[in-house]
Structure 1
């Protein structure tokens, strides 16, 4: 459990690195699709670009979740201190944290300080990126399987 906490805390701190990596993977995928006279097999170029896009989708999901996690009071022991850090305007320390407020790790939400601290685009972006990642993996694995010759075909060629 401690490792999960440390991983989430590290993700909340380093989400910009994940976002930059996602951008790099998407750019590399676009570069893999450009016409190259040396590459005769267009299908292998498409598969290679697909793997880069899948990695980009995974990093996008991680970056979005980390961004949402960084906006919450996650990891702070005292909700009052977290609310003072996250919403210094309009938060009255004497009143304390909202009695009806709560937080959740999925879907990511934190209403401890009143309105939700998590930006509205975070949960849809995480879900969309994760779905894109899974779909790309399935398509790419099926493409790899279909592109390989059957063992019977190898024996017949010999």
Structure 2
């Protein structure tokens, strides 16, 4: 067995583990693996293979699939959060890898716009979070962090007659 075949066998095992963890449907899994193999054949994928597999799975999950009845659904509803958690990837790493993946896989503009919108929304949320954390902490301090109260005199007053 060549090094390439051994590598692909390990990558496939990791991919199948990831699919099981995500409860991925077979059609999306097969599409993701096919796209991963094609991209890997044409480009050098630097970094964690698991991260690149996560990019392929994300694209496959967001592809339109036929539904029972009329119309199509926007993918199979496997959440990005679950994909990132199972692939041990941060959101920032995901956006960096996904931009490269979109270029390598020549994804349509509509898909790229969706990913860009998601990244912008995350960036706005992160900025707001940074601004409001100090305010929130100042207003809602845990009881252990509250400043001590002024001590009152414990001296008894003389009864008024």
* TM-score class normalised by the smaller sequence: 0.3 to 0.5
TM-score (normalised: structure 2): 0.32
TM-score (normalised: structure 1): 0.32
Q: Larger relative CO (CA 8 A, sep 6+): 1 or 2?
A: 1
